[in-house]
Amino acid sequence: MYQFAQDLQQLQQRINQFLEQQFEQIDTQPSPLAEAMKYALLLGGKRVRPFLVYATGRMLGAELVHLDYAAAGIEAIHAYSLVHDDLPAMDNDALRRGHPTCHIAFDEATAILAGDALQAFAFELLSQTPNLSAEQRLALVAELAKASGVQGMCLGQSLDLQAEHQQVSLTELERIHRNKTGALLRCALKMGFLCSPHFADKQLCQQLERYADAIGLAFQVQDDILDIEGESDVIGKTVGADLAADKSTYPKLLGLQGAKEKAQELHQQALDALAKLPFDSSPLKALSEFIVTRKN
């Protein structure tokens, strides 16, 4: 019987070890840049995006070594986004993963540069993926670039900042979060797919994207719920930060109970998408369940 918690822990250890190895030959002294990058990248984290890369790739017969580079690349992008999100000019947060945010642990300029360097580091890793076709490597780079830029995460963050102190519709809120949070989760799944022998199967890709779109939105809905019901020492960041910033959230728009119902509805959409796949999708089913029941 599939054990999600055990699989997640093993893959967390795998990606953490791989990421640590990438820094063994990097020395930026007397600059603290490398240390700030490692602080942002290796100081905890659920590793949901790497797990999604691995789970999808394994399901489709990809080689683990290829998935290591894809998983590391997307986690580097995610870490950079958190460093920049936490800056005073953005969300101005003091706590991340239970520790002082990067700009507080170091300084604001170092945090900005660490985020910049992590972004470049992500694409450097993808370009170095061994024994993967040039077509697949290029597709990985293009997918991650699209998901993290003006057609994805950066757009979502910009829309989110604009929506502060504003009343937005459910459609507008979904646009924010399909970009801000959902784009990278969707990308993680597609990167696992692109590392596999099935990378040219467009119909399969579309079916996987339906699952990814559902869990991407569900992840943000649960984040919004935890901003109200969570505990700071459990979720690793300040509870009530979104409320204090007067951000647009699902509980604000739908009510707390309505947000919980929305999360369950999205979870069911994810399961329905997986039911049509001719593969053992147990890890992806378990991930969807984890996303809507997590406490951090």
pLDDT of 165 = 83
Token pair for 253: 């728009």
Token pair for 257: 């109970």
* Average pLDDT of the chain, as a whole number: 92
Instruction: Look up residue 199 and give its DSSP letter.
Output: T
- How far is Cα 282 from Cα 287, in angstroms, rounded to an integer? 9
Residue corresponding to tokens 């580097």 = 76
**Structural domain for 132, as ranges:** 4-293
Average pLDDT in the 42-56 region?
95
For residue 234, pLDDT over 80 is answered with no
pLDDT of 34 = 96
Q: 185: Cβ–Cβ under 8 A, 6 or more apart, which residues? A: 48, 49, 52, 212, 215, 216, 219
User: 167: pLDDT confidence band, cut at 50, 70 and 90?
Assistant: confident
Task: Name the pairing type of β-strands 95-96 and 99-100.
Answer: antiparallel
pLDDT of 64 = 97
Average pLDDT in the 61-83 region?
98
How many residues can be counted in the chain? 296
Average pLDDT in the 118-136 region?
97
Q: What CATH code is carried by the domain that includes residue 71? A: 1.10.600.10
What are 180-191's pLDDT values in tens digits? 999 999 999 999
User: 91: pLDDT confidence band, cut at 50, 70 and 90?
Assistant: confident
pLDDT of 231 = 65
User: 25: pLDDT confidence band, cut at 50, 70 and 90?
Assistant: confident
Token pair for 217: 């939105």
Of 96 and 164, the structure prediction assigns the larger pLDDT to 96
Instruction: Look up residue 211 and give its DSSP letter.
Output: H
pLDDT of 235 = 52
* H or E stretch covering 293: helix 282-293
Tally the domains of the chain: 1
What are 204-222's pLDDT values in tens digits? 999 999 999 999 999 999 9
For residue 156, pLDDT over 90 is answered with yes
pLDDT cut 90: percent of the chain above it:
81
- How far is Cα 41 from Cα 139, in angstroms, rounded to an integer? 24
What are 240-292's pLDDT values in tens digits? 566 656 677 899 889 999 999 999 999 999 999 999 899 999 999 999 999 99
Of 129 and 44, the structure prediction assigns the larger pLDDT to 129
For residue 233, pLDDT over 90 is answered with no
Contact, 260 vs 218, CB < 8 A?
no
